[in-house]
Amino acid sequence: MRLTARRLFFVWDFEKEERWLNEMASKGMNLQGVSICSYVFEEGTPGEYQYHVEWLKYRPSHPESVAYIRFLEETGVEHIGSLMNWVYFRKKRADGAFDLSSDLDARIDHFKRISWLLWVLLPCVLIFIASQIYQCLTHKGVLPALMPLIVLDILILACITMGLVKTRLTYRRLKKERLLRE
């Protein structure tokens, strides 16, 4: 049986997404493919696989990413799919623990890359909002037409800001943890 589930996860909630994929796997629903807010599952043996979601520094087609994915595949990890820089991996639970980010420095770097993405998006949204406000101030009568777009952009801005705060807090917590381990 095939099941397509539609879920929205923010980039900073990749651990939540990973937990959900592993919960689905424990119910016997194994991930077969992924696209924007859409996950395709196929029924299988409950608990057979464990999943990991990772944001790569480069696109999956980049030579460094290809080498990394190939290395993981040689260790028994299966590459399920990609969505921009996000890659989805799984490994048979019987083959042992599956934690690609057990290295603290790798986790810190992971959150740094996600934070970088959000910092790139933030000025884009701010410029877009500023241009819409400018349009409203210079052209009479466009406010009603632009208002839904401005509200949407402000919601996006709030989400990005929330993501920056969450990733920054996690980043700081991991750096403190690294200092304690040294």
Condensed to tens digits (0 to 9), the pLDDT of residues 23-58 reads 999 999 999 999 999 999 999 999 999 999 988 889
Residues 142-157: tens digit of each pLDDT: 888 888 998 999 999 9
Catalogue the long-range contacts made by 116-120 (C-beta closer than 8 Å, 24 or more residues apart). 117/11, 117/55, 118/11, 118/12, 118/160, 118/163, 118/164, 118/167, 119/164
- Specify the pLDDT at position 124: 93
Distance CA 108, CA 122 (A): 21
Amino acid residing at 27: K
Q: What is the mean pLDDT of residues 3-14?
A: 91
- Specify the pLDDT at position 39: 97
Asked if pLDDT for residue 179 goes beyond 80, the answer is yes
Distance CA 141, CA 23 (A): 51
Closest to 53 in 3D by CA, of 96, 109, 11, 105: 11
- Specify the pLDDT at position 152: 93
- Specify the pLDDT at position 87: 94
- Specify the pLDDT at position 15: 87
- Specify the pLDDT at position 100: 67
- pTM recorded for the entire structure: 0.78
Distance CA 71, CA 69 (A): 5
- Specify the pLDDT at position 101: 60
| First-last CA distance in the chain | 49
Query: Do the Cβ atoms of 28 and 43 come closer than 8 Å?
Result: yes
Give the CA dihedral 158, 162, 168, 174, nearest 10 degrees: -160
Fill in the DSSP letter of residue 78. Answer: E
Helices (H), 27-103: 63-74
pLDDT band per the 50, 70, 90 thresholds, residue 162? very high
Strands ordered across the beta sheet of 38-43: 2-6, 38-43, 29-35
- Specify the pLDDT at position 102: 58
Q: Rounded to whole angstroms, what are the CA distances from 43 to 26, 39, 65, 92? A: 11, 13, 30, 15
- Specify the pLDDT at position 95: 84
Residues 76-132: tens digit of each pLDDT: 999 999 998 899 999 999 887 777 665 778 788 888 888 998 999 999 999 999 999
